[in-house]
Chains A and B, each alone.
Chain A
Amino acid sequence: MTADQPALVLEQVSRHFGGLKAVDGVNLTVRPGERHAVIGPNGAGKTTLFNLISGELPATGGRVVLFGDEVTALPPHQRAARGIARTFQITKLFPNLTVLENMLLACEALDARKLVMHRALGSYPDMMQRAKAVLADFGLAAFEQETARNLSYGDQRKLEVALSMAGRPRLLLLDEPMAGLSAGESTSMQAILTKLDRSIAVLLIEHDMDIAFAFAERVTVLHQGRVLTEGTKDAVAADPNVQQIYLGTPAQ
């Protein structure tokens, strides 16, 4: 892998549900360490695009290339093994397990010891320490023994992001991490995102334009399954087409 090889390349990626073109011929490149926002109105195909990148949905057309390897036909767990991690817009935790167990699962995911049956998990202090360290990074250390379903919504969202960071990903997909958070919680989540390791490429779906533009260097605007425009945040903000889909046609 060369230093300037893109983290992610999408080539003409499409997903059609019958006649509905949820994602239609999208091209996108994310460089290592880049902060890239995907914005667009409801139904633009943002989450579907994430599902195509992470493998939750197979693409009906095009190619997905991850760190130089084509992964278009691979299932999610094999893409995860190649350095991709994601969060979900609708929180996907292990609700009846403790916060620590949630995190241990995330730490085991890319570790060969996940198939060990003949030793207690507690006999691997390194896994325990790693899980606790990630929880501490996200300010969740106090809730280790709490059942995940009993966490406040804000802490559940933090755990959601924390789980995706446990496997030391090189490309992180964040699907509206701030959705539904109070102003205070949103600020603390933004602080967490700003502090993420700069070597990780991050693709962020965000509805709030202020947050998206504060976070990202480059912005892709999706509209009806297609890329409307892509560029630096200043160029995108100045684009009249973008203003039109967000604000409507200017009065004559």
Chain B
Amino acid sequence: MAGRRPGRNSVAIALAVALLVVAPPLLPSYWVGLLTQMVILAILAMSLDILLGYTGLPSLGHAAFFGVAAYAVAVLSVRYGANFWVCVLGGILIGTLLSAVLGLIVSHVRDVYFLMITLAIGMVLWGLGHRWIPVTGGDNGISGIPPLEVHAGLPFQGPLALHYATLVVFLICAGLMRLVVRSPFGLTLRGIRENEGRMKSLGFNTWLHCYLSFVVAGAFASVSGVMWAYYNGFVSPTYLDLTASSELFLMVTLGGPSTLVGPMIGAGAIVLLKNVMSAYTARWLLILGIVYIVAILAAPQGLWNLRKRPSA
């Protein structure tokens, strides 16, 4: 079962959450911002884990749903002056609907073909963000998204308020995703990853399960995109580009696919590396690449899976 040793996961998560609750008031606002970034991207990385780690579908276009949801929030709030809940629900709905439509196209292909199609779809959406200037603002993106705590009318303001609001969203999403992967449906996803042919002959319509997995992952990516739009205050095509999707892919593989906890760690590690490194050098992507190669050699199953290595 997923929780054969339930103790360890729970303890690690409880510690991490405690840290995210207790530490921010003691930290300078720059670091609070980084922690908020980590938490938002952890939601995104976990959502890709459902697809990549659990179902075994390697998507190189998963940032698309994140980006589209962020754009939806920007367009709704800046251009139409929509209220907070319209923006939040609109962003999640549009991102999820997009995954429901694109899922119809991609759910019948596997492996490298899945990778290629999701890559192509991601590039098309990036092109749209780049070129559909009347809506997306092109290269300039859209700025002026109100801060979440202001837009939502929270009684508290500032980075700390945003951080705690994000943390609540994260906890809800993480809880829901944990439930999904432990559900009867979640087990079927791992079955498809392990042996899709046998799943079919047992009586599963595997297309449907892959499709639902794609939509569920898209929905949580949209939540993450909505939070990101509020966190950053502006959106640009870089949210949709290949670097965004491959960084995301890296968070999952580096952290440990098919664990949910691993991708959280991966998201944290990459946000940290990226920000620390970019303070010293413009070539931080190079360093990220080296880290990735070392990780593949030393921990091919990801950091979080190191703890149970000698299981065979």
Q: Which residues of A contact B (CB under 8 A)?
A: 54-56, 75-77, 80-81, 85-86, 88, 92-98, 100-101, 104-106, 108-111, 113-122, 124, 127, 145, 147, 149-150, 163-164, 166-167
Contact = CB atoms under 8 A, between A and B. Distances in A.
Interface centre among B1, B198, B206 (most CB of A within 10 A): B198
B216 A117 contact: yes
Given A101-B187, A117-B186, A121-B187, A94 B195 contact: yes
Interface in B191-219: 191, 194-195, 197-206, 208-209, 212, 216
A55 B183 CA distance: 28
A147 B203 contact: no
Contacts of B312: 147, 149-150
Interface of B: 1, 4, 179-180, 182-188, 190-191, 194-195, 197-206, 208-209, 212, 216, 311-312
10 contacts: A77-B206, A85-B202, A94-B195, A98-B4, A105-B199, A108-B188, A114-B204, A117-B183, A121-B186, A149-B312
Contacts of A98: 1, 4
The 7 closest A-B pairs by CB, nearest first: A80-B203, A94-B194, A109-B203, A109-B202, A92-B198, A76-B200, A117-B185
Contacts of B311: 147
A122 B4 CA distance: 12
Q: Which one of B179, B180, B187, B212 has the highest number of Cβ atoms from chain A below 10 Å of its Cβ?
A: B187
Given A108-B188, A114-B204, A120 B195 contact: no
B201 A86 contact: yes
Contact of B200 (A75, A110, A115): A75
A104 B187 contact: yes
B202 A121 contact: no
Contact of A94 (B190, B201, B208): B190
A95 B194 contact: yes
Given A92-B195, A101-B1, A116 B184 contact: yes
A114 B185 contact: yes
B179 A108 contact: no
Given A92-B197, A94-B191, A97-B190, A113 B184 contact: yes
A113 B186 CA distance: 11
A56 B197 contact: yes
Contacts of A124: 184
Given A121-B186, A150-B312, A163 B191 contact: no
Contacts of A100: 1
B183 A109 contact: no
Contacts of A86: 201
A75 B203 CA distance: 9
Given A97-B190, A117-B216, A77 B200 contact: yes
B194 A120 contact: no
Contacts of B180: 117-118
Query: Looking at B179, B184, B194, B312, which has the most chain A CB atoms within 10 Å of its CB?
Result: B184
Contact of A93 (B198, B201, B205, B209): B198
Nearest to A113: B184
Contacts of B4: 98, 145
Contacts of B203: 76-77, 80-81, 109-110, 167
Contact of A127 (B179, B182, B184): B184
A105 B201 contact: no
Contacts of A94: 190-191, 194-195, 198
Given A77-B203, A81-B203, A96 B194 contact: yes
Nearest to B311: A147
B190 A121 contact: no
B274 to A, nearest CB: 32
A87 to B, nearest CB: 9
Contacts of A118: 179-180, 183
B202 A115 contact: no
A22 to B, nearest CB: 19
Given A81-B203, A98-B1, A147-B311, A120 B179 contact: yes
B191 A120 contact: no
Contacts of B201: 54-56, 76-77, 80, 85-86, 92
B202 A167 contact: yes
B208 to A, nearest CB: 8
A145 B183 CA distance: 18
Contact of A120 (B183, B198, B202, B216): B183
Given A80-B201, A98-B1, A167-B202, A120 B185 contact: no
A244 B288 CA distance: 69
B200 A122 contact: no
